[in-house]
Amino acid sequence: MGASIASIASATFITSATSGSSGISGTSAGPAPSAHRHWLRAGWLMTASGWSANQFSALLGAYRTDLGLTTATTTALFAVYVLGLIPGLLLGGPLADRRGRRPVVFTALAVSVLATCLLMAGPAATWALWPGRFLTGLGAGALLTAGSVWIKELSTPPYGTAATPGAAARRAGLFLSAGFASGGLAAALIAQWAPHPMITAYLPHLALAAAAARFAAHAPETSPVRIAAAAAAAARVGGEAAPVHPTTEAAPAHLIGDSAAARTATTSEPTSAPACAAVSARTTGEPAAARIATTPASAPVPAPAPVSGGSATAFRRLVVPVAPWVFAAPTIAFATLPGLVDAHLDGWQTIYAGVATAVTPGAGLLVAPLARRLAARHRIATAAAGLAAIALGLLVAALAVVHTQPAVALAAAALLGAGYGLCVAYGLTEVAALAPAHRLARLTARFWALCYLGFITPYAITLLAHAFSPPAILIGAAALAVLTLATVTYRGTRSSL
């Protein structure tokens, strides 16, 4: 049954991701057959990452009931994920820029699989839950950073045909949401009816990770540094390019031109524009005459520059305030709310938690078309709508807690999930617009790191509950969301004048 839910979520995602652009990868000779949708191949790795993050969330009640863990312990285990995630994000971005997208992504996937194996050992050795959650975050952080950039680059020419960089960047968020929606519900359904629930609930992730790795194995490398290095090495082999490796397939023409310049710098041999064009032609099949017109003679490779001052300021003023709400909203919906409204759901608490974990990111998937339309209207319209949905969702959540209404809490989860979907789409679109290609992974890492600060929200609410009632805390959070909305709207409006 969990597999059917996963397929439903995935079908919804694919419909949203492909609308507006075909996403079919291309080569220098024109679009490749639909079988070479490399962005789709890489995207399932993001789904596996989202699945691994959320499979634990639906089992919080089961850990309290079956293993006797306290609420403070389970929410702390939930927050430990962030302690691993932040270094994974901050290290994964620079590594992806230096070493390539593929090595970082597949290493992170292996770490995620190891983490799931440790979580499966939890019933026999509860201490294993702590490193399991830490490694889950570490693997997810690195995979999110490198995977987001990889999907974005595979979606745009010469690998794909996405209409805009923003549309390409949003696909990563949609794949992630598909994993969030499917993983939690599948784990809850297995935990409710399968034997040894805290072991068998994790088996689907192992199967998904293996399938995703197999599916993504043929997706090409897109890192500008790695492509240029491969082209430069090929150009040095007897003056003739070696056979093109699959990971350099359809390399961007301007990067191949830069590789010829790199050869000039390292060998002290003069390289003319025709020579650069010849290297490009051998590697990509592009006519040499076309490259002569666009490749400057003996052009040195520019050193990677930092994000421009204007871009850094825009990121700080318009993206940083929104980012923590990306995961603060959904974690409240599926980690905090179920425990506050399930008092009358005897025997069905785990199923209810699983439904909440599916409804929340599922709503984020459904608002993807709205996110595209809002982004076309105004730069910050998507963020404004997302923050408004979060504020409303928190108020509805407070009402649900006051009256102990699980159905109303699910409505609040849908609103919070919609806010999550809109805010993550806004953030990824802004990052794609602000960062140059050689800095994209680093800025994406910073964005995801800020987003995942929201994962500590359930633990913060648990601590604040000693001094304030849960409805009061939720109303206070709604006020903070409104304040963020006002701040970002003011800044965004002034920046567009």
> Looking at the structure, do residues 238 and 350 belong to the same domain, yes or no?
no
- What integer pLDDT is reported at residue 478 of this predicted model? 97
Whole-angstrom Cα distance, residue 28 to residue 39? 17
Residues 232 and 148 in one domain: no
Range of the domain at 177: 2-222+307-492
188-236 pLDDT, tens digit each:
888 888 888 889 999 999 999 999 999 998 888 887 766 666 677 777 7
Q: What CATH number is associated with residue 332? A: 1.20.1250.20
More confident: 470 or 230: 470
Asked if 120 and 154 sit in the same domain, the reply is yes
- State the angle between helix axes of 224-236 and 273-284 in degrees (0 to 180), rounded to the nearest 10: 110
299 is a domain residue: no
Does residue 17 sit within a domain? yes
The domain tally of the chain equals: 2
Is residue 380 a contact partner of residue 488, using CB atoms and an 8 Å limit? yes
The answer to the question of residue 298 being in a domain is: no
- Dist CA 312 CA 452 (whole Å): 20
Please tell me whether residues 152 and 283 are part of one structural domain.
no
Q: In the prediction, which pLDDT does 22 show? A: 38
Domain presence at residue 53: yes
CB neighbour burial string for 212-248, b if at least 16 within 10 angstroms, e if fewer: bbeebeebbbbbbbbbbbbbbebbeeeeebbebeebb
**Residue 297 in domain:** no
For the chain, give the percent of residues with pLDDT over 90. Answer: 34
Q: What's residue 132's pLDDT?
A: 95
Q: Strand, coil or helix: what is 252?
A: coil
Q: For residue 279, name the pLDDT band (cuts at 50, 70, 90).
A: very low
**Judgement on whether residues 112 and 61 belong to the same structural domain of the protein:** yes
Is 347 among the domain residues? yes
Are both 435 and 474 inside the same structural domain? yes
pLDDT tens-digit map of 314-323: 888 899 999 9
Domain limit, last residue, from 262, 292, 322: 292
Beta strand 26-27 with 30-31 is antiparallel
User: What sign does the CA torsion over 322, 328, 333, 337 have?
Assistant: negative
Do 196 and 323 belong to one domain? yes
CB contact at 8 A, 417 and 363: yes
**Assigned token pair, 153:** 């680059």
Number of helical (H) and strand (E) elements in the chain, helices listed first: 23, 2
Mean pLDDT on 257-263: 36
CA dist., res. 223 & res. 414, Å (int): 37
Are residues 354 and 454 located together in one domain of the fold? yes
In this structure, the answer to whether residues 313 and 373 fall within a common structural domain is yes
Q: Same domain, yes or no, for 82 and 58?
A: yes
Residues 43 and 146 in one domain: yes
Please check whether residue 144 lies inside any domain of the structure.
Answer: yes
In a domain, 376, yes or no: yes
